[in-house]
Structures are given as C-alpha cells and as structure tokens.
Chain A
Amino acid sequence: MKLISKILAATALAATVLPVTAQAQDGKKLRFVMVSHIGSNDPNMNWLTLALKEFQEKYPDVTTDYISTNNYSVQEHVRLLEQAISTRPDGIAVPIVSSDAFEGPLRRAIESGIPVVAFNIPDGRPDGERIPYVTYVGGDEYLTGEKLGEYAVAEAEAGHVPKPTRVVCASHDAAHEGLKQRCAGMRDAMAKVGAQFDELFIGAEPATARNTLQSYLSSHPDTNYIFTVAGWSAPWAWGVANDMGLDPDVDDKGVTVLTVDEGPVSIEGVRQGHVLATNSQGFWLQGYAPMEWLYWNIKFGYAPQQDILTGPIIIDKDNADHWAELVRGVFGEEAYNQQNTW
C-alpha cells in the first residue's frame, strides 16, 4: 500500500508540475477514447464524463470521447471497442470486463502502437498472461467487499451493531465477475468471525428482487447482515427487512444493511441511519488518471510498474456529510435530491 500511496502522490505532483498548456509535438491534437461499460443508465457515468471534461480543460491539446451503451453485453462492448480502435485514436481507456473477449482487439491495438490503460476492472490474470496495457487505474472489487466486511466486524466488536451470524450478498448480476469478487471479499471478512455466508442472485427487476430476498430472509431467519452489491438495491433490501419487522436500521439489534458506491442513494442511506456503511472506489480518479497516464506515456514514455488503486474508501456516519457535499458538487443539488429514493 505504501508503494501505491507513493505512486498516487507522484501522480498528483506531476499533475501540478507539468505545463498545463502542453501542445502535441506535431501540433495536432491528441484524441483519447474511453470505451466504458458504464452507460447513461448508471449515474456513476457522471463522475467519468466530468473527469474527462476537466482533463480536457487542463490539457487543451487533447480531445476525449466517452463511448458506452445502455444495453450492455460483453459482445456489444467488444463491438464498441473495435469501432473505437478502427478510428485510430491516440490512446484507449477500457475496463477489462472479459479478458478473453478483449484480448484480441486490445493486443492488436497495442501492437499497432495505441497505448491502452485499463480502468475500473483489471485483467485478473497473472502478470505474464495479462493484456500488456500501460497500467490499471481503479478499485479492487475484492477489497471493496473485504474492507466493508472488516468495518462491519469492527463496529460489531465495538457494540454498535449486532455480531454477524449470517450474511447474504444480494447480487443483481450472477455473471458479473466484479460483483462476485465483492461478495467473495465480504465472505472472507465475515468468515473470520464465523458468520455463515450466502450469495443470492436477486436480479435487477425491483419487484422480482424483493420477492426473492423476502423468500431468502423467511427461510434463513438467522440472517442479520445484507450486503447489496449495488447502491440502488439497498433501499429494496431495507424495505423488505423493514416489512418483515427485522429492524433494518443501524443499531445494535435486528438486520444491518451494507452497500457500495458513493451515489446519493448510498450516502443518504448512511446519513439517514438505514445503511451502516458504503464505499467509494474513486470514480472521478478513474476517469481522470487514465487520461493523464495515456498523455504522459505518449509524451514522456512514463509507465507505472504497479496497478494504481483508487479505493476503497469507507463512507460511514462520520464522513457521510462530507461525501454528500462532494457528490452534490458532481451531480448538482437538484439531481442529488431527486436520486435520493429513500
């Protein structure tokens, strides 16, 4: 972690030292594309597009394009990636949602001289086998689950919340490797205190998800922690537990809800006492830092020797107000309030 901190510090330092109006050597503007799995149906896209906008303001010799789809599938993502490569950009930032599916196009892009930075999701294979991108900038899904689990255990030991007996990880996508990793991290953290653990596929449809979760809670009455791997499903989990009289607010009895993300729903869940904690994986940095590394790689040949982790940071009742202020700045006051669905 020390090394990562040093790298982050170096990143910040370099950002301030480099001339802000640097021009491409041949006078032509550079063009970077971010081919993302986060579409406009996910409010987290705001962090990334805002970061790209701010990057462009700081580096006027670069234009950035954000490409994504709302009807997500790996095949569709690969198609978008191949389209982006065919336009011959100067750099690409892409999440490695599937290392198998992305390997071919990305290796061809890298061999043709286009630098690639992975963001949000890394190639999970060992160093020698993974796609030879410049670096990875993003969170670590396993650490997200593990750190939230460890936080909950520490709070339980302090007597603020119940000791975990059974934990259910409610996931809306059974095939999403990142979500599985979040559950795995939580499972390992909870195993240290002997809690039972189940991963439950609830789906993304709200009524179906509630029906599924209620069935699980009815048949597993010893469940006292619900971990929703998306912020927007936290109110559903809380609502089901509340309807069943399981006392889901944050106190030393009943069910305790944990969730992820720094969106308004998650943060307001913490502030209103419905959710014990959530996390931030540094979405803004995941938009900004890949662009800077592409820029420095092209201009100066810089390439970090280690992945750059931008999270997780635990958001609890102590820092939720600060985060609320920050997120209001990104989403806007009106949008923030509208997106608080509690």
Chain B
Amino acid sequence: MKQFVRSQSFGAVIGVTVMLIAFTVIDFSGWWNRSTLANVVQFSAILGLVAMGQALVIMTKEIDLSVGSVYGLTGVAFITLEPKLGVPGSTLAALAIAAAIGAFQGLVVVRGKLPSMIVTLAGLFAARGVIYVWTGGTVQNFSEAARNNWLTGLLGGQIFGIEAAIFWMVGLCLVLNVLLWGTRYGNRLLATGGSLDSAESRGVRTDHVKILAFMLCSLLAGFAGILTLADRPQTHVTLGDLMELEAIASAVIGGCLLTGGRGSLVGAVLGAFIIVSFRYELIALGAPSSWFTTFVGIVLIVAVIFNQYLARRAGHSV
C-alpha cells in the first residue's frame, strides 16, 4: 500500500476516483451507461496513446510540442497514400514518416543542443504546413475497398463489440511499461531525465536515449492518428489541432514532472481519461463546451501541485 501511495500514478488514481464519485452523485444514469462509457473510453484510448509518448519524452526532461501535428500528418499520409500503396503499405509509410520526424527532432535537440520546446514548436508548424500543402486544404476520401480492408478493420473496427483502439492502447501500454520498468533502456531513460550528468558519468548514451524517446513519441502519436482515421476516415486538415496541449496536460495530470526522471505511463492514460471524461460530462450537464478549456487549466494546476507534493513526500527533489 505504501508503495502504491508513493507511485507516480497515485495522484491520477486519486483524481479518477474523485471524478467517478462526483459523476456518480451528480449524473448516475447519464454517466454509467454503455454509450457514454464506450465513447469516453474510446477517445481516452486515442489521447492516451499520444499522452504515453509525451510522458516518455517528459521523463527525459524534454517536451514534444509537435505531437498534434504529427498525429495529423500521419493520419493524412495514411489516407492520402492508400490509393498508391494499399492499406498495409500506407500504414507502414505513414508510421515511417512519424518515426522520421521524431528521429529528426531528437537529433536536432541532442546534436544541436537546442531546447526541445523550440525544436518541436518548429516541428508543430512544419508538419501542419506540410498537411496544408500536401492536401491543398482537403483530405481526400478513403475508398470503399480501403474501408473494408482487413487491416482497416483491425485498426479501426470493433473486436468483441469493443473499439479496437482500446485493445491497441492497452496492449501498447503493457509493452511500454515493460520497456520502461523492465529493460535497461527504461532504466537509462529515467536516469537521463533524473540527472543527465550522473547518467553520462555512468556511461549512458543520453543522446541515443533521447532520440529514441522522441521517435517513440512520434510513432505513438502517428499510430493514434491512424487508429482514428481507420475508425472514421472523414477528416479535415485540422486533424490533431491543439492535441499536443491535451497530451501534455494528460501526462502532467498523470504524474509526469517536467523536471524529468519521474512519470507514469498508466498515469498518462488516466490523465487522458480525466480530460476526455470531463469534456463529455461538462457538456452532458449543460455547461457551455468552451468551459472545458478553463477546466483543463484548473485541473492542470491542481495536478502539478498535488504531484509535486507526492514527489517530495517520496523523497524526490523537484
């Protein structure tokens, strides 16, 4: 129990618990029904994938502002390349684009010794610009044959009546947790974010660690974009617009500290669940939908204060 309380995702678990109690009291029948939960969990899975990638980068004491645009560009590439490459080919090509963006940004950050905020801000604009230029303003349609392709069904359909995105998110969350907590790379990633000098003095190639973290972040964002469009291919050039802010908020609410070296992938997913749930429930309760933005700001501040408090209690210097 003591270990659980000291864990990085404890704040997010408390947040989810409080939220669920509040929704149960305020709107029991509206919240606890299949339609609501299916919708919220599906969109939480999509945002959760992006948030997990963001969490990995934040744990290395960096940040990636380009994830929304990478999510959009990868999704657009998946749709646009499909007529020439087919669904499997366009999926691989789109993911390759995402990985290349992540690798490039990581390289520029570590080799150029530039702040990741600036590099990925440039990435945000550049990727969005490519979407505009490439599409000419309109993302093309996804053919009937492509919609019926087996891979499209596996990425965007339903499995046992549950949206495929949820299975993908759970599966990837498990894999990434094993990577983070059960491999040398995970140990090095946390060490890099915790104390760069100390990690380097122990022979950790922090540059490699960071580049791989950026690549994973872009890949996860891109994969989330593909899952979104495989499910609903009707989209627009605004795909992923401002998603980077929700992803960062999810990671921070989920226990990631911007000072690096501490964070939780499960927490990031729970943070995404909190954000999506509140958006849904605020509207269901009749609040103007733009109040959601205010809400995210408030929750973010509360989460940072609470997570810092927990981190200090756990003996981390923040």
List A residues at the B interface (Cβ < 8 Å).
39-43, 45, 70-71, 172, 174, 200-208, 210-212, 214-216, 218-219, 232-233, 235-236, 239, 244, 263-265, 335, 337-342
Q: Separation in Å of the B279 CB from the closest CB of chain A?
A: 6
Which chain A residue has the least Cβ–Cβ distance from B47? Answer: A207
B169 at interface (Cβ–Cβ under 8 A)?
A: no
Which residues on the B side are within 8 Å of A218 (C-beta)? Answer: 30, 35-36, 39, 284
CB-based contact B234/A235 at 8 Å: yes
CB-based contact B133/A341 at 8 Å: no
B7 at interface (Cβ–Cβ under 8 A)?
A: no
Q: Chain B, 267-293, contact with A by CB distance < 8 Å: what is the 0/1 string? A: 000000000100111011110111000
Which of B232, B241, B289 has a CB less than 8 Å from the CB of A202?
A: B289
Q: Separation in Å of the B212 CB from the closest CB of chain A?
A: 27
CB-based contact B35/A341 at 8 Å: no
A202 to B288, CA, bound (A): 10
Whether A200 contacts B139 in the complex (CB less than 8 A), given A206-B235, A207-B46, A235-B234, comes out as no
Which of B236, B285, B290 has a CB less than 8 Å from the CB of A232?
A: B236
Which chain A residue has the least Cβ–Cβ distance from B228? Answer: A207
Q: Chain B, 203-247, contact with A by CB distance < 8 Å: what is the 0/1 string? A: 000000000000000000000000010001111111111110000
CB-based contact A206/B228 at 8 Å: yes
List B residues at the A interface (Cβ < 8 Å).
30, 35-36, 39-40, 43, 46, 125, 128-129, 131-133, 135-142, 228, 232-243, 276, 279-281, 283-286, 288-290
Which residues on the A side are within 8 Å of B234 (C-beta)? Answer: 206, 235-236, 239, 341-342
CB-based contact A41/B132 at 8 Å: yes
Q: Separation in Å of the A148 CB from the closest CB of chain B?
A: 21
Whether A215 contacts B39 in the complex (CB less than 8 A), given A205-B242, A236-B234, comes out as yes
Which chain A residue has the least Cβ–Cβ distance from B225? Answer: A207
Q: Separation in Å of the B277 CB from the closest CB of chain A?
A: 10
Whether A200 contacts B242 in the complex (CB less than 8 A), given A40-B133, A43-B137, A339-B138, comes out as no
A45 to B289, CA, bound (A): 30
Which residues on the A side are within 8 Å of B36 (C-beta)? Answer: 215, 218
Which residues on the B side are within 8 Å of A42 (C-beta)? Answer: 137
Which residues on the B side are within 8 Å of A174 (C-beta)? Answer: 289-290
A206 to B280, CA, bound (A): 15
A86 to B136, CA, bound (A): 29
Which residues on the A side are within 8 Å of B236 (C-beta)? Answer: 204, 206, 232-233
Which residues on the B side are within 8 Å of A43 (C-beta)? Answer: 136-138
A40 to B138, CA, bound (A): 9
Which residues on the A side are within 8 Å of B283 (C-beta)? Answer: 200, 212, 215-216, 219
Which chain A residue has the least Cβ–Cβ distance from B35? Answer: A218
Which residues on the B side are within 8 Å of A342 (C-beta)? Answer: 141, 234
- 6 tightest Cβ-Cβ pairs between the two chains A and B: A338-B140, A204-B238, A235-B234, A219-B284, A215-B283, A215-B280
A43 to B138, CA, bound (A): 7
Which of A203, A205, A215 has a CB less than 8 Å from the CB of B284?
A: A215
Which residues on the A side are within 8 Å of B40 (C-beta)? Answer: 211
Which residues on the B side are within 8 Å of A200 (C-beta)? Answer: 283, 289
Q: Separation in Å of the A328 CB from the closest CB of chain B?
A: 14
CB-based contact B284/A204 at 8 Å: no
Which residues on the B side are within 8 Å of A239 (C-beta)? Answer: 232, 234
CB-based contact A40/B136 at 8 Å: yes
Question: What are 11 A-B contacts defined by CB distance under 8 Å?
Answer: A40-B132, A41-B237, A206-B235, A211-B43, A211-B280, A215-B283, A218-B36, A218-B284, A219-B30, A219-B286, A338-B141
A9 to B299, CA, bound (A): 59
Q: Separation in Å of the B257 CB from the closest CB of chain A?
A: 26
Which chain B residue has the least Cβ–Cβ distance from A263? Answer: B138
Which chain A residue has the least Cβ–Cβ distance from B291? Answer: A201
Q: Separation in Å of the B94 CB from the closest CB of chain A?
A: 16
CB-based contact B279/A341 at 8 Å: no
Q: Separation in Å of the B96 CB from the closest CB of chain A?
A: 23
CB-based contact A340/B276 at 8 Å: no
Which residues on the B side are within 8 Å of A202 (C-beta)? Answer: 289
Whether A205 contacts B139 in the complex (CB less than 8 A), given A211-B276, A215-B39, A219-B284, comes out as no
Which residues on the B side are within 8 Å of A335 (C-beta)? Answer: 136, 138
A240 to B304, CA, bound (A): 35
Which residues on the B side are within 8 Å of A338 (C-beta)? Answer: 138, 140-141
Which of A244, A264, A341 has a CB less than 8 Å from the CB of B139?
A: A341
Q: Separation in Å of the B179 CB from the closest CB of chain A?
A: 26
Q: Separation in Å of the A271 CB from the closest CB of chain B?
A: 14
Which residues on the A side are within 8 Å of B233 (C-beta)? Answer: 341
CB-based contact A205/B240 at 8 Å: yes
A70 to B139, CA, bound (A): 15
| Of B128, B132, B138, B241, most A-chain CB atoms within 10 Å | B138
A86 to B176, CA, bound (A): 55
A100 to B271, CA, bound (A): 40
Which residues on the B side are within 8 Å of A40 (C-beta)? Answer: 132-133, 136-137
A39 to B136, CA, bound (A): 9
Which residues on the A side are within 8 Å of B286 (C-beta)? Answer: 219
